[in-house]
Structure formats: C-alpha cells, structure tokens
Amino acid sequence: MSGPADSAVSRPGATGLLVAGTTSDAGKSLVVTGLCRAFVRRGLDVVPYKAQNMSNNSGVCADGAEIGRAQILQAQAARREPTSAMNPVLLKPGTDRRAHVVVRGRPAGVLEAGQYATGRRHLAEAAWAAYEELESAHDLVVCEGAGSSAEINLRAGDYVNLGLARRFDLPVVVVGDIDRGGVLAALYGTVALLEPEDRALVRTFVVNKFRGDPSVLAPGLTEITRRTGVPFAGVLPWLDGVWLDAEDSLEVGAWRRSVRSGAEGARLRVAVVRLPRVSNATDVEALAAEPGVEVLVTTDPEVVAGADLAVLPGTRATFSDLAWLRRTGIAAAVLDRVGREAPVLGICGGYQMLGLRVEDPAGVEADVGSSAGVAVDGLGLLPVVTRFAVEKSLGRPAGSWRGHAVQAYEIHHGRAERAASADATTFPEPVEGFLDGWRVGSTWGTVWHGALENDAFRRAWLVEVAAAAGSSWTPAPDAVAYGARREAMIDTLADAVEEHLDLDLLLAETRVASSRAVAR
C-alpha cells in the first residue's frame, strides 16, 4: 500500500523524528510544542514541521506566507521565526467535500474529496522539498503527523504520517490520548494495522493526558510492549491550564474555565458565535485569558442576545454562514443587540457580515454557498460593502487605537470598503475608523486577526465595552500579559516533557544521537 514517493533517502542517522497519533486530537501538536522547547533547552537547533495541516486556523509569517497557527506556536517554542517550510501544505476546508489549498504559504487551487487519496503527488513533492530545506539547515526536525497514523485507506498517497517517515527514515513515536478512553487498544491497533515496513519505524509510544497514579497503568503498558515490541517513552500527565492553539476546534477547555473573578458583578460575559465554517477562532483566546471575562462559544440566539459582548469571528464561508445566521435566529439577536446599543464585534468574515452588502463577482466562494456574480445583503450595521477578489490579501499590519499600539495579521479574499451610500441618514450615529475597519455606536468591525492579543489595546477596549454593557468589569491590575501567559504554557509543556518522557530514547536513532556518540 505504500506510495511511489516512499523510497527512503539514506542518511547517517535520521534527520528528525515523527510524532504521530492514534487519532485526531490525541495531543500531537502540544507534544511537538513541548519537545521543541525541551530540545532547545538542551542546546539543539530544532525546528517544527508538519507536511500537511488541515485547518482554518492560520497565521501569517514575516514574509507574508500563510501557515497553520499550530506551527507558528511550535516555531515560538523552538525560538525560531516561523516560515512556510514548517507547514508547506495547508488545506482550508470550504465544504465537507472540498478544501482550498495553500502551498508554501500561497493559494494553490482546490482539492476535491475524491482527489484526497490519489491527487496529491504534487503536494507531496512540495512537502518533501520543504523538509529537505529544513534538514539541511538545522540539527533536528520535529515532525507532526496528521489525524490517525493508521488510516490505511489513505496510505497509498500519504506524505504526512508513515509516508513521511518512510521517505526520510524517521523514527516514529505514536501518541495516544487516555482521557478519551481505550488508549491501549488504540496503540495496539495502530501498530497492528500498519504494513511491516511502516511498523518497523514505530520506535516508541507515549500516553497523553493521564490523570491519577501511573502505577495503575503500568501493567497495561508492559503488556502492550510485550505484544508489539514497542517500548513506552513515557506517560504525560493531564496539564490543567494549558490550552494553546487548537487546529480546528472552538471547544477549548480553558474557555469553559475562564472566569477568574470571585465577584459575580465583575464578570464580563462574551458570546462567540460558533459559525459552521469558523476560521481563526483563536482570535478570542486572549479574551478567555483575561481575568473576570467569561467566554462562551454558542449557537444559541438567547445566549447571544444576553451576553455583554457578542463576537462574530472569521469564517471560510461568508455567504453560507450569513444565511445560517439568519436561519438560526442569531442575526435577529444581533440586530436586537444593536437596537439596545449592546456591544457587537465582527472580525474578518464576521465584520463583512455586519456590513451593507457582500459581493462575489469572481465566484471565490462558489463552493460554499456563493456563485459567480452573486451578491447578498449584510446585516446593515456597518457602512461597508465587501467585494471578493481572487487574490488573497496576506499581511501583518500595525496600527493604533486611542493611543494603544496594535500589531495583527490579515488573511482574506474580501475587500471591505466604505460605501458611498453610507451617509448620515443611513448611519445617524458617529462613524469612526477602527483597526482598518469601522465603528458605529457600540458595533465594531475589523479585518485584523490577532488584534486582541495586544494587552493594552485589549484591556482599554474591553473597558469601553463594559461601560456600554453596564458591566462593572475592570482589568485586574496583576493580570499576566497574554504573550507571557503563552510562554509560560510552553514552558509548562516542556517541563512535563522533560520530567515524564525519555528524551534520549526519542533521539536514539537521530543524527543528534549519532553525532554525540562520535564526539564521545
């Protein structure tokens, strides 16, 4: 079942290692993040790599390349500037059967569901070239697999999991999530499903998210090793309070535990609308990290209506998600909020929905509820008309609001421009600029992602939101900066990796171990 690109490249010791998983969301991304920081502490020049990422949560590198947010985080852990080589192929789902393809940070067409197993050879070649670029410049490449490493239906065209490992002769560590149950069966079954050549590359297992006494688990680990011949590199504990960049999910545990103020009246309640094709949901993580701010991700119009602040986040499908807002009653809840002067924030696609009109003359969203030449009315709350263009805007803009510096990034096809018809009759309240977008009354909209990660801006803006909402919330004087909080979480991960995993075992077959043996 191996593919034609699987032939291994001979090397004196592997140039990296692959962190694969029994399932999606087994913890691969966080394990790679922790390993990168742990290896940096050992003095290694290490970089992260994910051949293909399927996610609508992405960011922008310094050169304007778009890659997955998880790889940007891992680059931070490795103390490296993120580059497109770290995530050479990014698939952004538009529908259940089509994904928009980004290669080396730039748009590169679409991939249909029927092409997923057989139509990706050109993507594999781009991924191989990126890996070779990284391996030639660094001591070690820590690779992250995708989904399950035992998806045998996709093995023939695989270049992310065992296809990658076979190509570059990488030792593989398989991570299983014990919190979801059945981890021993999942680890054993993963190895059992692999063809012999792939199975030979699985060198270690890691159990993730364990709660309790590890001695209770030990007999099971011993038996799995006896049956498979694969030793365990360790058992990572459940790490409460570590909730770094998910790839595609808004169900981040920290948001369910985000209220840190003891006084009910000091809470600021934020409702984030979970759009069907939500993208860059990570924009609101900085709100969840703020003491006294309660963030709830919801599809309930009543929750949207009753919160102090309602947020429409980004979307990969502005037209279909706008129709969904109307169909579910959430659009009516947003309009009711504005009638009561209750705060609303739209970010990127959410901002476009708040405008007067959305037009797609080129059919950019033809696969997700739009078609060439289509135009629909927005919610009419901000004085902009959005027109989609084939060329994507990618950048890292900087600006300010009320004297507070803001650094952000932008990823969008839609250009939102002030409408000529938006006069004082249409918008009787004062209209002012807001982070390359607009504000009317208590309704704000911006195309910038990541703006809320700027501490001074975020807190000053939330004070204004709280005042408009009638909340007594104020920033906690001892609140940790968002960037410092993220660094602390990375270090917490690395501490756990160093304490609970056998790093020498993980490195045993890499050129790092080979070079040290020669030096000795």
Which residues are known to be catalytic?
348, 449
Bridge partners of 68?
58
CB atoms within 10 A of CB 145: 27
Residue 73 half-sphere exposure toward CB, CA atoms < 13 A: 30
Question: Residue 384 and residue 27: Cα distance in Å, rounded?
Answer: 41
Q: 453 in the Ramachandran plot: left (φ > 0), alpha (ψ -120 to 50) or beta?
A: alpha
**H helix runs in 379-454, sequence order:** none
- What φ, ψ does residue 19 adopt, rounded to 5°? -95, 100
- What φ, ψ does residue 122 adopt, rounded to 5°? -65, -30
Closest CA to 32 of 90, 76, 83: 76
- Inter-residue contact 56 to 92 (CB < 8 Å): yes
Secondary structure (DSSP) of 14-72: BSEEEEEESSTTSSHHHHHHHHHHHHHHTT--EEEE-SEEE-S-EEE-TTS-EEEHHHH
Residue 449 tokens, joined? 């992602």
Sheet arrangement for strand 98-103: 52-54, 89-95, 98-103, 106-112
